[in-house]
Amino acid sequence: MKILIINGPNLNLLGVREKNIYGAKSYEDLLAFCRAVCEEEGAEVEFFQSNHEGAIVDAIQGALGRIDGIVINPAAYTHTSVAILDAIKAVSIPTVEVHLSDVSKREDFRRVSYVAPACIRSFIGLGFEGYREAVRALKEHLASNAR
């Protein structure tokens, strides 16, 4: 099982500001956490982070034929991007959405996710643990689809 973990704009600045919302740990800490989770779950992992919508679309397209499952935190593009929604639909790779913060309890505009309809699950407000849940959900989904 090979997993691609995509993080959107500004998540590379984790731990620098807004620690009350996103926590004090850095983006490097997030990668280390995800690496450990994937090792425990027996998954190979690849990471991609970009501040650019088109680059995220390219990364999703580039997963075709190589990647079994995608974990994506599209960050602000969650609430705006039809292009990312379409890319997830186009590749038909099982995808799980993750948000560190509880977007349902923040500004109204964060309550809408453009990508959720293309995702098999969404984990919201669990901090780094949401990425663990996402990897596990993909593993279960892929195992049940292989039967």
Q: Which residue is nearest to ligand CA2 (CB)?
A: 101
Does 126 interact with ligand CA2 (rule: CB under 6 A)?
no
Distance CA 16, CA 22 (A): 10
Q: What is the DSSP letter of 140?
A: H
CA 147 to chain centre: 26
Label residues 69-94 b or e (16+ Cβ within 10 Å = b): bbbbbbbebbbebeebbebbeebebb
Min. distance of Cβ 91 from ligand CA2 in angstroms?
21
Min. distance of Cβ 65 from ligand CA2 in angstroms?
28
Give the number of residues in contact with ligand CA2, rule: CB under 6 A. Answer: 17
For 3-62, the DSSP string reads EEEEE-TTGGGTTTS-HHHH-S--HHHHHHHHHHHHHHTT-EEEEEE-S-HHHHHHHHHH
Nearer to ligand CA2, 60 or 68 (CB): 60
Does 134 interact with ligand CA2 (rule: CB under 6 A)?
no
Q: Which of residues 64-103 bind ligand CA2 (CB under 6 A)?
A: 73, 75-76, 78, 99-101, 103
Structure tokens belonging to residue 139: 């593993």
Q: Pattern 29-68, binding to ligand CA2, x per CB under 6 A?
A: ----------------------------------------
Positions that interact with ligand CA2 (CB under 6 A)? 10-11, 13-14, 16-18, 22, 73, 75-76, 78, 99-101, 103, 110
